[in-house]
Amino acid sequence: MIELIGRSRKKTVEAEVGKTILELALQADVDWGFNCKRGTCSRCRCQVLEGIEYLSEPNKAELLGLDDEELEEGFRLGCQTKVNSDGAITVQNKPYF
Ligand code: FES
């Protein structure tokens, strides 16, 4: 399961393998920031609070868009990070502004 914490709503849904965090959030009607869906705007930035081992490794767009410190703290781009396997995952949308 994945708990998706948006700006004002949160929901726990099935962690569907292969879907991005943003896709799951939109599907669940959680208010999650996004604009480009291509890994450039950072509006979908989020922090993985639990279960990062169940998610994809940072891809090129994430490595370009996030600095090392952010990656170490579990920050990811919701439109790029995919579920690799089901597990207890908690992610919170934390855009810069
Ligand atoms: S929606 Fe723009 S970086 Fe994810």
CATH code of 21's domain: 3.10.20.30
Q: Looking at residue 71, what is its pLDDT?
A: 98
Q: How many angstroms separate the CA atoms of 66 and 75, rounded? A: 8
Task: Return mean pLDDT, the chain.
Answer: 97
- Ligand 1 in reach of 89 Cβ (< 6 A): no
The closest residue, in CA terms, to atom 3 on ligand 1 is 39
Is the CB–ligand 1 distance for residue 24 below 6 Å?
Answer: no
What are the Cα distances from residue 16, in Å, to 1, 20, 41, 77? 8, 9, 24, 17
Which residues have a Cβ under 8 Å from the Cβ of 21 and sit 6 or more positions away? Answer: 2, 4, 32, 44, 46, 55, 76, 78, 79, 81, 82, 83, 91
How many domains are there within the chain?
1
Which two three-digit tokens encode residue 12?
């726990």
pLDDT digits (tens, 9 = 90+) for 8-17: 999 999 999 9
Structural domain range at position 71: 2-93
Distance from C-alpha of 17 to C-alpha of 33, rounded to nearest angstrom: 21
Mean pLDDT across 31-57: 97
pLDDT of residue 43: 97
